[in-house]
Structure 1
């Protein structure tokens, strides 16, 4: 049975530049097909520049900025990866506070690839089981998380569900898991 997200709004947080395009567009499409409204949130207004690995991809319009919106407006949060995207977000106080607020308000969060770097900065991985791109293994362990090499991990050990995946190849499983959690 497909998840029904009718009437729900899902935030997608992305830096002005560096988001892995497929890790933004694939979950975005899944959320739309399930009946929800995806909204692109960034640290500045205008458009974000996505990438296909190291090559520039498409640009996408920003719906709101982290200082103009509140997590209470959303059912859940998706953090796409790419190396530059979470590296930028974790150095931006407003972005880190936005992410942390989803945990403080017990809303589900989905993160793929390098996106857990932002979760680490928000101090939200301690005591959690998650996966990521393999190069983050030590960072996650040092932040008190349990890193595993699995296609998708749903951790409910905490105030909210945390859905994580390793890479674009995991997107079908990632999408299915995040839709199920966002439908609860």
Structure 2
């Protein structure tokens, strides 16, 4: 399922289906901005959540707006998606990492080699899904020791790519994060 970019044009994600796994407490810009970028590149995007209806975003320490859930986690088949986005926010990934269905969903992408993009606190869930060992990654600085202890090679850069895994530190990194996310999602499966 390779989709090489045309010279001078950003890669196209037409025909690609992307899951954004989130729950209450996601960082607003870290969900909204990647979703907009993916849709602009032609991807079909679904917000997947263990919570039905809608989920509450946050803008740092203040409530943001709600986002409708497209598919409940219980009925979401990870095999039906080409890629996964894990937005940050402190509450969101901390809640997801203790949700067995969420970890199983993420683990499908880890073991199948499908590309994953995780920003800020989003990589927390990858630890529980066994997706960080031996990977070069970045994250919000407070996750550095968690990721190192789980076997990742943590670096402080705006975006890091390692075999289809795209990670970034914070909302200010979103332009670099989105560009690399689209590039890796267009490449498809990684060995």
Q: Give the structure 1 partner of residue 185 of structure 2.
A: 182
Q: CA deviation at 1:105?
A: 1.6
User: 1:148-163 alignment to 2 at 5 Å?
Assistant: 148-156=155-163, 161-163=164-166
User: Residue 70 in 1 paired to residue 77 in 2?
Assistant: yes
Distance in 2 (CA, whole Å) between partners of 1:39 and 1:124 is: 22
Q: Give the structure 2 partner of residue 7 of structure 1.
A: 15
Alignment TM-score, normalising by the size of structure 1? 0.95
For each residue in 1:36-63, what CA deviation from the matched residue of structure 2 results, as whole angstroms up to 9, or x when unmatched?
1110000121100011111111111111
Q: Give the structure 2 partner of residue 100 of structure 1.
A: 107
1:32 to 39, 49, 57: 39
1:90 to 97, 101, 116: 97
Distance in 2 (CA, whole Å) between partners of 1:30 and 1:45 is: 24
C-alpha contact 2:110 2:129 (8 A) present in aligned 1: no
Q: Give the structure 2 partner of residue 168 of structure 1.
A: 171
Q: CA deviation at 1:7?
A: 1.5
C-alpha contact 2:121 2:139 (8 A) present in aligned 1: yes
Q: Give the structure 1 partner of residue 120 of structure 2.
A: 113
Alignment TM-score, normalising by the size of structure 2? 0.92
Q: Give the structure 2 partner of residue 44 of structure 1.
A: 51
Q: CA RMSD in A?
A: 0.7
Q: Give the structure 2 partner of residue 140 of structure 1.
A: 147
C-alpha contact 2:21 2:47 (8 A) present in aligned 1: yes
**Unmatched segments (≥5 aa) in structure 1:** none
**Unmatched segments (≥5 aa) in structure 2:** 1-8
Distance in 2 (CA, whole Å) between partners of 1:183 and 1:121 is: 26
How many pairs were matched up? 179
Distance in 2 (CA, whole Å) between partners of 1:143 and 1:104 is: 17
Distance in 2 (CA, whole Å) between partners of 1:66 and 1:96 is: 11
Secondary structure in structure 1 of the residue aligned to 2:139: coil
For each residue in 1:8-60, what CA deviation from the matched residue of structure 2 results, as whole angstroms up to 9, or x when unmatched?
11100001x10000000000000010011110000121100011111111111
